[in-house]
A and B are shown apart, each in its own frame.
Chain A
Amino acid sequence: MNLLDILLAGSTLGGLYGLIAMGLTVQYGVARIMNLSYGEFLIAPAFLAYLGVTAWGLSPILMLLLVLPLGFIVQWLVYQLLLTPLVRRTGAGPALEVDSILATFGLMFVVQGVMMVAFGGNYHSYTYLSTPVQILGSTVAANRLLVLGVAIALGLGLYLLLTRTRMGTVVRAVSVAPRFAPLVGIDVRFTAALAFGMGGAMVAASGVLVSMFLPFSAAMGTMFAMKALIVVIMGGVGNLMGCLLAGMMLGFAETLVATFIDPGLTLAVNYALFLGVLLLRPTGLFGKGAR
C-alpha cells in the first residue's frame, strides 16, 4: 500500500468515525446527557433510507435531506419529554449523568425492540455510489469519500456556527458553564434541547451515509454508540474539532496497523491508543477540565 492509498483509506475511515461521533459530542457537551440510545438513532435512519431506496425508489441523497429535520425533531422531543424531568430533578448536577445513563439505556432497549419487531434481525444492505474513484492512481469508493466530505463540511460548518453566530456563542456558554449561563439571560433548557436536536440531525445524517456501504441490522446500534463514545471522550467532550481529530487518529491507526503490523490487532491498537491518549491527557485531546 503506498502513501496515497494509506492517506485515502485512513482519512475515509477516520471521517466515518468522526462523523458518527459528532452528534454525540454536541449532545453530551451541551446537554450533559450520556445518551446510550444514540446508536439506535443512527440505525433507525439507516432503515428509513433502506426503505426509501428499495420500497419507494427514492435516492439516498433525498433521504439524507429528509432525515435531517426528522432527526432533529425526534431528538428534540426526546429531550423535552423524556430528559427534562431528569434535568429538573437533579438540577443538572453530577446525578444527571447517572440518571441519564439509566434512562437512555431504557430508551435504547425500547427503540431497538421496536426496530426488531418491525424489521427482524436480518442484515439489510443496498448499494449506492459504490463506484471506484481514481485519485492519482489510488482507488477509493465514492460513498466513503462522501462520508469524509460530509464529516469535514459538517465539522467546519458547525465550528463556524458555534464561533461566529450569536446562537453558537450561547451554545458554547451553556456547554462551558451551565450554572452561570442563566445569569446572562440564557435559557439553558431551550439551548440544551436545541443542541440535543442538532445532535439528532447529525446522527441521522451519518446513519443514512453509513447505510450506503455498511450492511446493518437492528442489533448494531450498540456498536455504533460505543464507537462514538470512544471518539467523543478521546477528543474531549463537547469539542467538534477534537472529535474529528480523534476519529482521524483512530482511522489512520487502524489502517496503518492493518497494513504494516497485523490486521488482527487493529481494534486492539485503537483501544490502546484511546487509553493512551486519556492517560496523557485525562480530559481528552481538547477537553477542558474534569466534570
Chain B
Amino acid sequence: MKTAGKRFWLKQVTAAAATITGFATLAPLALAQEAPKSVRIGWAIAKTGHNAGGTAATVTPNYQLWVKEVNAAGGILLKAYGKRVPIEVVEYDDRSSTEEAVRATERLMTQDKVDFVLPPWSTGSNLAVGPTYEKHKYPLLAATAVTDKAPELAKRWKHAFFFLGTGAGYAESLVSYLESAKKEGKIGNKIAMINIADGFGVELANATRKAAKQHGFELVYDKSYPIGTQDMTPLLTEIKSKNADVFIAYSYPPDTMLITEQSRINALNPKVMFTGVGTQFPMFKAKFGVATEGIMAPGGVDFDAPAIKDYFKRHKESAGYEPDRFASTIQYTTLQVLQQAIERVGKIDRAAVTQEIRTGTFDTIIGPVKLENQMLTKLWYVGQWQNGEFYGIAPANRAGAKPAIIPKPAWKN
C-alpha cells in the first residue's frame, strides 16, 4: 500500500501538470499503465474421487467454456483501465476431500493470491469452504449447493450467495404442484418416497414429509437407502405393492440410473415418477432415450428461449457433451453474474464486486437475475422430460413453464 501512496501523489502532481496541457488526455494514460496483466481466477474442484462425476457433468465444462469465451473476446472489460484483461486460471484438485478443498482454497487465496475463486461441486464442499471465503472476503457463488440452512448461512457469511435454492423450496413446489393435479383428479393421494442417505436426499425427504402432510398426501412408503446400494429391486418391488400414484426418489447419479432401469424391468408404472440428481444429465437421455418421457426431477430448462438454445450449442461444442438440465444453467449464470459485476465495478475490488452481486440485476441465460437476501429464488423446482427435452414445469406460473404430462407413459419393454 506504500507504493500506492507514492503513486497516488505522483498522479496528483501529474494531474496538476496535466491540467495545464489537458487533463482528459493524460489521466487515462496514467491509469492504463496500472492495468493488471490478467484477471486471476482460481478454482479447487473434484477432478478425482467420489465427487468427480458430478463435477465433470456440471462444473468443469462451464468453467472452461466461460474462460475460453471470455478470453476469445479479449478478456474481462475493466473500464477503470479502459481495456480488456484476459483471465488466467489457477486450478487444483480437491480429491473430493473437504480437508483438501479447504486447504486448496486457502492456497489460492493466500499463496496464489488470485482475484476470485470459483467453488467446487456439492453442498458439502461448498459449506466446507464457506468460512474460508468469508474469512478472506472472497465472494462465494454457490451454484451446486441445496441447503435449508441457506438463509441462516447468508446472515453468517456476508460473502456467500446461494443460487440453487433450499430443500424446502423444491419439496414445497413439487408437492403443491401435485396437489393441483390431485384436485384435477389426475392422481390419488398416496406417495411412495425413497431417498439416498446423504445430505441432499435427507433434506429433501424431510421437507417432503412436512409438505405432504400440509397438502393432504399420505406417505405409504418412506425409506432411505445407503450410498453404494447396487440393487434397488427389493425397494421397488415393495413400492409396487403399495399402489401409490406418485413415486419420488431423491437419488444421486448412479442410483438414479439404477432406479429408472430397474423400475422399467420390474414394470413399476406410477402415474408420477420423480427421480433425483442425474435424471437431468445427458447420460440419462442417452441411456433411456424415449423411455425418459414423463419422468420428473429437480431443475428444468426453458428450451424455447434462444439464450438457452445458444448456451446448449456452445457447451456441446466446447465440452463435447450437453450441459445437465439442473445445475449447469445455474452454474453458468453465476459466471455471467460474476463477470458483469466485475465489469460494472470496473476493476478488481472484491468488496465492491460482492456488493454489486448482492444488489445488482444481471442479464443471464436464464433471464434477468436479482438476488434476494443473497439467494436466487427464480428457479425451476420441477422439470420433466417431454419429447427429448427436460422442460421446467413448476412453478407453473413462471414464464416458459410447460404443462406436465400426467400420467407418465408406461414403460415399453
**A interface residues, Cβ below 8 angstroms from B:** 1, 5-6, 9, 12-13, 16, 112-113, 116, 120-127, 130-132, 139-141, 144, 213-215, 217-219, 223, 254-255, 258-259, 262-264, 266-268
CA distance A144 to B386 in the complex (A): 30
**Cross-chain contact B258 with A215 (CB below 8 angstroms):** yes
A132 proximity list for chain B (CB < 8 A): 265-267, 413
Nearest chain B CB to A137's CB is how many angstroms away? 12
Contact-residue size bin, chain B (C-beta under 8 Å from the other chain): 35 or more
Instruction: Check if B57 is an interface residue, CB within 8 A of chain A.
Output: yes
**Cross-chain contact B234 with A267 (CB below 8 angstroms):** no
Q: Which of A122, A140, A214 contacts B57 (CB 8 A)?
A: A122
Q: Which of chain B's residues has its CB closest to A120's CB?
A: B56
Interface centre among A112, A131, A139 (most CB of B within 10 A): A139
Nearest chain A CB to B319's CB is how many angstroms away? 10
Instruction: Check if B283 is an interface residue, CB within 8 A of chain A.
Output: yes
Contact A122:B226 (CB < 8 A) given known A258-B234, A258-B235, A264-B197: no
- A sample of 28 cross-chain residue pairs with beta-carbon separation below 8 angstroms, ordered by A number, consists of A1-B238, A6-B234, A9-B234, A13-B231, A120-B52, A121-B47, A121-B51, A121-B55, A122-B53, A123-B53, A123-B253, A123-B257, A124-B283, A125-B283, A126-B287, A130-B265, A140-B265, A213-B261, A215-B257, A219-B50, A254-B231, A255-B234, A258-B225, A258-B235, A259-B238, A264-B197, A264-B225, A268-B226
Instruction: Check if B108 is an interface residue, CB within 8 A of chain A.
Output: no
**Cross-chain contact A219 with B283 (CB below 8 angstroms):** no
**Cross-chain contact A259 with B234 (CB below 8 angstroms):** yes
A124 proximity list for chain B (CB < 8 A): 283
**Cross-chain contact B235 with A139 (CB below 8 angstroms):** no
B237 proximity list for chain A (CB < 8 A): 1, 5, 9, 259
Instruction: Check if B254 is an interface residue, CB within 8 A of chain A.
Output: yes
Interface centre among A132, A218, A258, A259 (most CB of B within 10 A): A258
CA distance A223 to B229 in the complex (A): 11
Nearest chain B CB to A207's CB is how many angstroms away? 14
Contact A116:B47 (CB < 8 A) given known A254-B231, A263-B234, A266-B229: yes
**Cross-chain contact A263 with B258 (CB below 8 angstroms):** no
CA distance A272 to B283 in the complex (A): 35
Q: Which of A121, A126, A214, A268 contacts B254 (CB 8 A)?
A: A214
Contact A121:B287 (CB < 8 A) given known A223-B228, A258-B235: no
Contact A122:B56 (CB < 8 A) given known A116-B48, A132-B413: yes
Q: Which of B225, B253, B266 contacts A263 (CB 8 A)?
A: B225
Instruction: Check if B224 is an interface residue, CB within 8 A of chain A.
Output: yes
**Cross-chain contact B52 with A218 (CB below 8 angstroms):** yes
